[in-house]
Each structure stands twice: as C-alpha cells, then as structure tokens.
C-alpha cells in the first residue's frame, strides 16, 4: 500500500510579537533544507505530504496553520499581506531565513502572496486554486461556482458568513464528490483518510469555521497583489484531470508569473501533492533559490 502521509515528527507553537500563536508541524531531518507548506482548504498542520520522500531528499518540511485554523490564534479581518507578514516573522523566529515554499490548493494564493513580498526564495504551487474571479474565467465556471464567486466579490461579508456555516464533514464530502476517480483512490486510502479527517477536525476545532471562511473569501475574490512583481523562481503543478482548482490548469496563472515553469501531469488529478511528492520536491530543490540584496534586486 502507498504511504501518502505520516504523522509529524515534531509539533509546536510559535508566539508572534503580538501574542498570537502559530501552530506548526515538521517532517524530515531537523537540519534538512527548510520547505514551508501552505496547506489546502480547511486542513491543519497535521496533514503533510511526501511520506518516505522528505527524509531521502533531506527536506525539513514545515506546515503552518493559518490564523483561525488548528492551533493558530484567529485573526479576524486578516489579509493576504497580513499572512505574508506572519510568515516573515515565523521564519525569523525559527531561524529559517527565506525558505522554499509549497502552496497547495486554497493555500496557493497565500503562498503567492508570500512570494510577491519576498518572504520565500522559491515556490511550488501544486493543484493551486486560481484567481477564479478574473473576468477571463467567467464563461469557464459552472453556474454554482460562478454564483459563489459573484457573491464573494459583491458581498464579501455576507459570503464570509455563509462559508462560516461549513463543517469538517461537509468539507470532506464536497472534496470527495467533486474529485475524479484517480483522486478518490487517494482520499479513500485508509492512511490518508485518517490523516485527512484529523486535519479537518483540528482545523475546525478553534472558532468553528471562521478561519476557513476568511481563507475562502480571500482566495475566491480578486487578489490584491501583483503576480508580475514576483522575482523568485516558481513551479506550477497541475494534474491533467484536475477540474476543481484552475479552469485552464494554470495556463493563465503561469503567464502572469515571470519565468514560471508549468507542469501538467498526464492522467493525474488534484491529489498531485501526494501522488507526485518526489518530483515536486526534487524540482523545487533544483530551482535557483533567489536572494534579495539591499536594493531589492533579485540575485540567484
């Protein structure tokens, strides 16, 4: 049987200067190459990826709960820039400098915000939620999703209240029902299913679904940051059969990020983070991690 996930090797909480806590989990060697994980919708630090891979590649994988999810203190009204600031402080407090990052599913725009603000040195977006509120996608969305997007753009406060009514079980059912069979095989794997359920339960444990609701309103609305300002190397990964994250499997997104490399994996779906962990991490490690000098210019 495949091992898609495994229990974290280390768990902890990091206190920010304003007193809030950020919950984190780690896998792999403690002295490995740090890679931050910005996880998908409504999941906690508990759900990692790369079981049996991170150790081989020498990766220290660090997943961080976004505010209001899992062990992280809620931050009502937070923005993408607020999250990037939290990650900058987290990296400084834990001595990570500017690590590489993986953004999965709904975590993708938050990871892109970190890349835009120079918090990380290289980024892999895996099955990333796209900016579906862009007018280019209006005709490509099904009626249900288009309605949610329009509601989010027109009435973000009302949309946030609506999303706050979600439960862990409803989230799991929505993911399973909207996934192709190649993904369901992963989600139904006993080991993965147990880890996913625990991550959902933990994500919703603090403040009900408020953290998920805030994430969703931010991700589903117009993104306020400039993707063209990204100066770090970016990989984009999509499964050919993934219909739930990007209407065009990241083609428009790739054109908006300078120098982005887009990979579309034949026969794969949205569970790419777990089915293709090794090539994703190997490619991320191969990217020339950017550093930023005093002038703000990128060097590699």
Structural contact between residues 107 and 87, judged by C-beta atoms closer than 8 angstroms: no
> Is 271 contained in some domain?
yes
pTM recorded for the entire structure: 0.95
Which domain, by its residues, includes 187? 10-286
Closest CA to 252 of 238, 241, 266, 265: 238
The CATH number for 216's domain is: 3.40.50.1820
Question: Residue with structure tokens 């220290």?
Answer: 60
Structural contact between residues 30 and 22, judged by C-beta atoms closer than 8 angstroms: no
pLDDT digits (tens, 9 = 90+) for 53-103: 999 999 999 999 999 999 999 999 999 999 999 999 999 999 999 999 999
Structural contact between residues 80 and 103, judged by C-beta atoms closer than 8 angstroms: no
> Is 228 contained in some domain?
yes
> Is 69 contained in some domain?
yes
- When divided into structural domains, the chain yields a total of 1
Rg (CA), the chain: 18
Report the Cα 244 to chain-centroid distance in Å.
14
Closest CA to 189 of 16, 5, 33: 5
Q: What is d(CA 104, CA 128) in angstroms, rounded to the nearest whole number?
A: 5
pLDDT digits (tens, 9 = 90+) for 234-292: 999 999 999 899 999 999 999 999 999 999 999 999 999 999 999 999 999 999 977 65
> What is the DSSP secondary-structure string of 46-66?
T----TTTHHHHTEEEEEEPP
pLDDT digits (tens, 9 = 90+) for 190-222: 999 999 999 999 999 875 699 999 999 999 999
């Amino acid at each position: 049987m495949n091992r898609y996930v495994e229990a974290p090797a280390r768990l902890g909480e990091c206190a920010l200067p304003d007193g809030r806590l950020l919950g984190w989990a780690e896998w792999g060697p403690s002295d490995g190459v740090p890679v931050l994980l910005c996880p998908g919708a409504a999941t906690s630090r508990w759900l990692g990826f790369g079981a049996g891979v991170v150790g081989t590649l020498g990766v220290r994988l660090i997943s961080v709960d976004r505010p209001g999810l899992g062990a992280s203190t809620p931050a009502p009204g937070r923005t993408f820039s607020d999250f990037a600031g939290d990650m900058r402080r987290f990296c400084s407090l834990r001595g990570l400098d500017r690590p590489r990052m993986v953004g999965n599913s709904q975590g993708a725009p938050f990871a892109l915000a970190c890349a835009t603000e120079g918090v990380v040195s290289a980024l892999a977006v895996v099955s990333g939620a796209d900016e579906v509120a862009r007018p280019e996608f209006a005709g490509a969305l099904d009626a249900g999703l288009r309605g949610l997007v329009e509601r989010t753009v027109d009435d973000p406060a009302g949309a946030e209240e609506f999303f706050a009514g979600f439960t862990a079980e409803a989230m799991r059912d929505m993911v399973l029902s909207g996934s192709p069979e190649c993904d369901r095989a992963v989600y139904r794997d006993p080991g993965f299913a147990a880890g996913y359920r625990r991550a959902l339960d933990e994500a919703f444990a603090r403040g009900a679904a408020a953290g998920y609701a805030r994430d969703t309103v931010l991700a589903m609305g117009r993104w306020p940051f400039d993707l063209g300002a990204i100066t770090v190397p970016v990989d984009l990964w999509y499964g050919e059969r993934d219909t739930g994250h990007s209407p065009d499997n990241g083609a428009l997104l790739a054109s908006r990020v300078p120098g982005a490399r887009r990979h579309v994996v034949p026969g794969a779906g949205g569970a790419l983070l777990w089915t293709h962990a090794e090539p994703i991490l190997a490619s991320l490690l191969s990217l020339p991690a950017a550093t930023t000098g005093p002038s703000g210019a990128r060097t590699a």
